[in-house]
Amino acid sequence: MFRKILIANRSEIACRVIVTARRLGIATVAVYSEADARARHVALADEAWPIGPAPPRESYLAGERIIEVARRTGAEAIHPGYGFLSENADFAEACAAAGVAFIGPPVGAIRAMGSKSAAKTLMEKAGVPLVPGYHGKAQDVSTLAAAAERIGYPVLIKASAGGGGKGMRIVERSADLEAAIGGAKREALASFGDDQVLVEKYLTRPRHIEIQVFADTHGNAVSLFERDCSIQRRHQKVLEEAPAPGMQPERRRRMSEAALAAARAVGYVGAGTVEFIAKGGAFWFMEMNTRLQVEHPVTEMITGLDLVEWQLRVAAGERLPLAQDEIPIRGHAIEARIYAEDPGRDFLPSIGTLVHLRQPPETVEVRVDTGVREGDSITPYYDPMIAKLIVWGPDRDAATRRLEIALEAYEVVGVATNLGLLRAIAGSPAFLAADLDTGFIGRHTRADRAADNPEPAAWTAAVLAVLEGQRVVTPADPWDLADSFRLNSEGDQAILLRTGETVMAIRAASRGDGAFRLLLGDVTVIARTGPDGISVDGVLHRTRVVRQGDELTVIHRGRNHVFALVDPLMPPGVRGAGDDRVVAPIPARITHVLVRAGDLVTKGAALIVLEAMKMEITLTAPRDGTIDVIRYIVGDMVEEGTELIHFADGATA
């Protein structure tokens, strides 16, 4: 076994590898970019080395620099995690040349599966069923268009060199194909350094089922069964579970055999995942990920195994710890990915500081894999995942109940999150009935709108937080107290709060015993703050309030309700002319400017392309009109809210 390893990654997966390495007595070396100097994985590792500026190409993708750190620290092996260099054959080859073990598959297997096009050709020869599609080398638009016509719309444009939903577009009609190809190629080049794409038939309402495989250098290979990853947004997984609901033993056997045939076809070694699209009783090969998957914890929870430990043992030349008939399936596990993103804005990533972070308590049945702590920042440079919440139960019903409870206990303030969406999924009748497919989110959930109409308890908690903030702990004289005290009468004060477009004036009067009489609309209540929340007319409501200046975030029943304290003497702000300008929705880098000043455009026309958090965002024209000014050029970094393009007044196309 290795004595010291380097982890060529960051955040949650780096922390995950460190935990297992420490349990096995293996020293760890972390690497970090300038943006991650105070990151959790840096603090957890035995030693940590800087490798460059924040952009991944200058740090986490700088393979030579990482190998040099391994040499200087005496690390015997490099664990690449997932993403970044994990499926980079050149990096794996460079590790071997430097005498450092690569904790992953052989270079040949990475190359074989690294190109989705080549992999599908190989799988066809191995007898693995394929989705109808075009996987050729010719990449001109006319060839791809002809393939799409032959396959039949809708089709899926997919990056050949990577995964994670990057470089992927659904095309419903031929008129949209060329733009989709261009966008997919740009995103693929930015994410994987390769703009080759393939075209496949897009199957409506399929399930996404993958098989975890493991192989060693002694000719042994096993299946660690399946995971259902059907619930997705932007072609990226949101919830995963194991085993797949409704999976019959015979179907599991057939899918496992197909996955193992795929692994053997490329001489696979280590942890790998063979992904299938499934509909009815049929299934088709999609791709093989030659690395550990983000969702590997659900497999660990139902088998009782540590897959990172297996990776380390196999990379060190050991045999697989168990044979196929020794691997159990026990109970049911579900993983929810918690992201800093806004489902109400088409899942745009959210940048900011985690000013408040509370995770559900970890137990044997509840696990949290995370790379952040309270006070850390979500930056525009990396994937916006905050954590993975994994729960286990003796059956699926028990696991879903545990998931709902754990999600309600998760608290994040400072960035927008998908927690509301996850709660909506976990509580939806379709999810509880295991009616799963890749279009689930679009049909069964919506953005978390409950926060737009807070319950009275949330308003009360916000008002009490304002009132408590007025108290002076040890006043020098009575005039230091801002509690609306009146001689011989009960004084009150008006507190104005706004949430969304709703403004409420709440009358508050102190009763002198720590409680307040509040008039909310036409309802009067007696409320006080307690150690676990608030009491309203004697009824306890568990709430938490996080205040940042005049903004108060009330966490109630697992939801965030954001209120602004309104100063009645402050003049109203001036609204911007939204139809006359295009602004950056998040901090990002400009990658393409598709128009010039003076161009006539129609509403919805693509104007400018941004890149942030490994995602391409195309901004479109808000109306018909003439482009007046383009304020930035390709390569510029812009902040959220920055005006990028201005339209000429009154000019229309």
Catalytic residues: 291
- CA–CA separation, 393 and 403 (whole Å): 9
- How many CB atoms lie under 10 A from the CB of residue 559? 18
Cα 589 off chain centre by: 20
- CA–CA separation, 421 and 14 (whole Å): 27
Select from 640, 522, 651 the least CA-distant residue to 598: 651
| Residue burial 596-605, b: 16+ Cβ < 10 Å; e: rest | eeeeebeeeb
| Identity at 2, one-letter amino acid code | F
Per-residue 3-state assignment (H helix, E strand, C coil) for 475-543: CCCHHHCCCCCECCECCCEEEEEEECCEEEEEEEEECCCCCEEEEECCEEEEEEEECCEEEECCEEECE
Tokens of 446: 């919506």
Query: What residues are paired with 275 via a beta bridge?
Result: 210, 287
User: Is residue 297 reached through a cis peptide bond, with omega within 30 degrees of 0 on the bond before it?
Assistant: no
Bridge-based pairing of strands 27-33 and 4-7 is parallel
Q: Look-up: residue for tokens 């510029």? A: 636
**Dihedral class, residue 52 (left if φ above 0, else alpha if ψ from -120 to 50, else beta):** left
- CA–CA separation, 431 and 353 (whole Å): 32
- CA–CA separation, 286 and 201 (whole Å): 11
DSSP string spanning 364-401? SSEEEEES--TT-EE-TTS--EEEEEEEEESSHHHHHH
Select from 103, 99, 108, 42 the least CA-distant residue to 78: 103
CB 495 within 8 A of CB 505: yes
Tokens of 636: 């510029």
Burial class (CB in 10 A: 0-12, 13-18, 19+), 433: exposed
Query: What residues are paired with 551 via a beta bridge?
Result: 548, 564
Select from 117, 163, 130 the least CA-distant residue to 261: 130
Per-residue 3-state assignment (H helix, E strand, C coil) for 41-99: HHHHCCEEEEEECCCHHHCCCCHHHHHHHHHHHCCCEEECCCCCCCCCHHHHHHHHHCC
Bridge-based pairing of strands 332-339 and 502-510 is unpaired
Tokens of 140: 């001109």
Rg (the chain; Cα; Å): 27
* 69: CB partners within 8 A, 6+ apart: 6, 29, 31, 49, 51, 75
CB 627 within 8 A of CB 599: yes
Q: Which helix (DSSP H) or strand (DSSP E) does residue 270 occupy?
A: strand 270-279
- In 3-state terms, the chain is what percent helix, strand and coil (to 5)? 30, 35, 40
| Residue burial 322-352, b: 16+ Cβ < 10 Å; e: rest | beeeebebebbbbbbbbbbbbbbeebbbbbe
